[in-house]
Structures are given as C-alpha cells and as structure tokens.
Amino acid sequence: MRNFVLELDSVICGDNVVEKFYSKYASDIEFKNWLNSILPEIQKCENQQQNNPWHKYNVLGHILHSVEEVNKLSVGLGDNKRRLLSYAMLFHDIGKPDKHIQRMKNGQVIDSFFDHNIKSAEIANRVLPMLEFDKNEVLIIAKLIFKHDIFMFIKRFKSDNKYWRVLNRELIAEEIQDLNEVGDGKELLKMLVLIGKADNFAQNEKMTGESLNLLDEFEHMIE
C-alpha cells in the first residue's frame, strides 16, 4: 500500500519543489486523486489567477515557489522545524480562492483576497491531521498561517492608519507573547520571519525590496 504522505513529503520538503510537484501531479494519477480528495483547494488554487502588482504567479504557482524558497532559508534547522515550515508555506495561501474579490485600485481592477489567512488556517486545521501532524504541530502551523501577513502592517514610523503598527521592541515582545500560546514564542517568531521572506521571494521582485529590508530589521530585533 502506497504511503502518499511520505510521497508528498518527498516533494514538499526537498529541493526543486515547483518542478517536482507539477511533474508528479501531472503524471501520477493516483497521487493526484489522493491529494485532491483531502485537499481539493489545490485545484482551485491552480485555477485562481492573481491580477495584482505584487504577484507574478497564479495562487498555486506562488504557493509552490514560496515552499521552495522557505526550504532554502531553513537549511541548518532541524528536520521537524523544516517540515513545519514547508507545510506552513503549502497552506499559507490555500484559502485565497474562497476569499477572491475584484476591486478598483488606482484606476485599475485588481484581485484581492481579504482574510484569506483565516480561511487558510481553517483548511490547515482540517487537513494537517491527515498528513501525520500531531495536535500541537497543527496548532503551531495554523498560528503561523494566521499571522503570516502581519509584516504588511508593520512600519518604521507612526501613522494615522489604524491598521499599521510601529516596529519596536514592544511589538516584538507582543508577538513573542502571542506565539507563546502554542510553543516557544521567540523561536516561532524567527520561523514566521522566514515565512515572510519566502512569501516575498515568491512575489514580484519589483515590489518587495522595502518589505524584505523591514523583515531583515525585524529579524535582528528578535535576538
């Protein structure tokens, strides 16, 4: 009997994730049917475009590129942390199709996905137990998914925008305390930074320079 979880691990937790996933998904019908049976959102993500200046791939393409990027960033971490990160990236945007809207911005129609982090965490909670994650690991991954976009709302300066927060030691302490609910908050915050970087590396590089600089600064403040 095939161990499809182990086969998925071999694709998601290694190198060349994009190439390996598309190849296996296209050529191995049993694997594809199994994955679609537990995670039908994969097909939705393959069909969901992202007409937005921040993106250059459809949702599935972005997800797979982000997994590949986080695997590069996590070299040197233990196998368990690396698997948690790989699957956090696999699920971080998986709820986007269910949250898709079109809206006008700067005179153009763009695709947006408000609150997709909430939907993605819900899907992760449903599926991860089937992928041999224990209860605490599911809590950790779902928490990281829920928080993966916090860096979009962090700035170096104060603003009248009620959604923006100022990058300082107090903010770092607040985030560590929040993550302490599911594990070692400081270590999980470091993992969240890797998720933020991988997310940016899988986006339109013309848009991400400032975000990556802020992530570097945020990371240094954790130490």
Cβ of 186: how many Cβ atoms within 10 Å?
A: 16
Asked whether 189 and 222 are in contact (CB, 8 A), the reply is yes
List the chain pLDDT tens, one digit each, 223 residues: 689 999 999 999 999 999 999 999 999 999 999 999 999 999 999 999 998 888 999 999 999 999 999 999 999 999 999 999 999 999 999 999 999 998 988 888 988 999 999 999 999 999 999 999 999 999 999 999 999 999 999 999 888 888 899 999 999 999 999 999 999 999 999 999 999 999 999 999 999 999 999 999 999 999 7
Domain ranges of the chain: 4-222
CA distance 75 to 95: 27
pTM for the model stands at 0.96
Rounded Cα–Cα distance for residues 61 and 63 (Å): 5
Residue 11: both structure tokens together: 């694709």
Which structure tokens are listed for 61? 């393409």
Question: What type of residue is 222?
Answer: I
Instruction: Tell me the three state secondary structure of residue 88.
Output: helix
